[in-house]
Amino acid sequence: MITSPESLHRCGYVAILGRPNVGKSTLLNRLVGEKLSITSAKAQTTRHRIVGIVNTGQAQLLMLDTPGFQTRHRGALNRVLNRTASQAALEADVVVLVMDAHGWTPADAQVLALVPKGKPVVLALNKIDEAGGRERLLPLLQKLSTLEGVVAWVPISAKTGKQLDQLVNECAQRLPEGPPVYDEDTFTDRSERFLAAEAIREKLFRLMGEELPYQSTVAIEQFEQQGELRRIFAAVIVEREAQRPIVLGASGDRIKRIASEARQDLERLFGGSVYLEVWVKVRAGWSDNEQRLRTYGYE
């Protein structure tokens, strides 16, 4: 019996690249069907390479969410984040470049330049529900058709899920043949400990907005499971003593709300009870020290 090409299983890495705030993490969460990658209106919310696993009947896509490539902030932290994005582009079998459907920018071109020559790039024109009809997109599509390395473009809405099946199909058909790497019920390669830190960090971004110091992160200091109960002790790391009361809030109200909302998200994600304590610690210069960055999980 001859097996048709359509019946062969495919498996490989798909890097999701793009400038800050174009919807990369929202796209990953929608594809995976879980709150895996944190989101907020603040730029550079994603700081780690996260694998989200998407299964179809004939393929397993290992989706790599990456930090938005940007040059606004200097120092070791930003170098590490940009290096993470570049490395994902190098290792992936296919690259999805997420862009705002309102138009192509010099920053988009800078991200495209990260992709090695010969690697297939699928453009995801996100936020089409805000950009108007197809007629308004035609001049943009004509321009995009001339870009080197772009093998397909798909107008999508990561927020509503519109045309994501088409995006998955465009990527899946370009993956190498091979069996799945992960079981069908696995949705990420990351540990619960990592997901807990990210849930807390998301609440920092969402509840503090512009007050949040860019040089802040979250470290899980203790994570233990007792039956269905997970006991988690975490520290928000800031660089200066003056930033500590900002995160704590008046009478500690802000840090209590951050912990409460993060705990609720984690209980939904883990499907069990969570006891969570969060406090604030000052570690001067941590974001400009690559050894300390590695200690806090930055690759």
pLDDT tens, 136-194? Answer: 777 888 888 889 899 999 999 999 999 999 999 999 999 999 999 999 888 888 889 98
- Give the whole-angstrom CA distance, residue 67 versus residue 233: 26
Residue range 114-142, pLDDT digits in tens: 899 999 999 999 988 876 666 777 788 88
Sole residue written with tokens 């071109």: 109
pLDDT at 154: 93
pLDDT of 20 reads 82
Two structure tokens written together for 54: 């998407």
**61 forms bridges with which residues in the sheet?**
12, 54
Measure Cα distances from 118 to 61, 65, 90 in Å.
Answer: 20, 21, 11
> Which DSSP category does 174 fall into?
T
Domain map of the chain by residue range? 5-172, 192-295
| pLDDT in the model for residue 4 | 42
Spelled out in words, what is the top-level CATH class assigned to the domain 192-295?
alpha beta
In angstroms, the CA 208 to CA 247 distance is 8
Give the span between the Cα atoms of 221 and 279, in whole angstroms. Answer: 11
What is the pTM assigned to this prediction?
0.75
Q: How far apart are CA 124 and CA 67, in angstroms?
A: 17
The class (CATH top level) of 5-172 is alpha beta
**pLDDT confidence of residue 299:** 61
pLDDT at 42: 47
Cα dihedral: 201, 204, 210, 211 (round 10): -120
What does each of the 299 residues of the chain score in pLDDT, given as a tens digit?
233 445 689 999 999 998 888 888 889 989 988 777 655 444 455 556 788 999 998 999 999 887 666 555 566 666 666 677 778 888 899 999 999 988 899 989 988 988 999 999 999 999 888 766 667 777 888 888 889 899 999 999 999 999 999 999 999 999 999 999 999 888 888 889 989 998 998 888 888 877 766 678 899 999 999 988 999 999 999 888 998 998 999 889 999 999 999 999 999 989 999 999 999 999 887 777 677 766 766 66
What is the DSSP secondary structure assignment for residue 39, as one 8-state letter? -
**pLDDT (0 to 100) of residue 214:** 62
